[in-house]
Structure 1
Amino acid sequence: MGKIRIRIVKRTARELIEKYRELFTRDFEHNKRIIVKLINVKSKKLRNQIAGYVTHLIAIESKKSEKPVSSV
């Protein structure tokens, strides 16, 4: 089964990446500390879910940019 995330996690993560893209990295612990500074998250579980999804999205973006274009 895949990872299912609630709507607030996805929406918040996407909004944070749009506004503060340069602050986030592929490091979960770093992203977690940045999220605490940027927004007021009510629970540790929700903060970790948002940080995990941000890390996931950043990793996907960086993999896409690293992928070389093959010449045919």
Structure 2
Amino acid sequence: MGKVRIRIVKRTARELLEKYPDLFTHDFQHNKVVVSRLVETQSKKMRNLIAGYVTHLVSLRLKREAAAKQ
């Protein structure tokens, strides 16, 4: 089973990746700083949830690109 995330986290993370695909990496700490600059969140926890999901999506994208090359 996967991790359950609320809709606002998923939607915000996908929108950020659409608008700024080059700003995010597979490093959570870097993504946390970028998310805090781009989004005014209600709490640190929300910021970290968004940054974590962005990191997850970037990692998936990198794995898919690597698999496509082989």
Q: Give the TM-score normalised by structure 1.
A: 0.91
CA RMSD of aligned residues (A): 1.2
Q: For residue 8 of structure 2, give the secondary structure of its aligned residue in structure 1.
A: helix
Identical-pair percentage = 59
Which segments of 5 or more consecutive residues in structure 2 lack a partner in the other structure? Answer: none
Q: CA deviation at 1:2?
A: 2.1
Deviations 1:50-69 (A, max 9, x none): 00000000000000001155
Which segments of 5 or more consecutive residues in structure 1 lack a partner in the other structure? Answer: none
Matches within 5 A, 1:39-58: 39-58=39-58
Larger radius of gyration: 1
Q: In the alignment, what sits opposite 1:23? A: 23
Where has structure 1 moved over 4 Å in runs of 4 or more? none
Instruction: Please state if 1:66 is matched with 2:66.
Output: yes
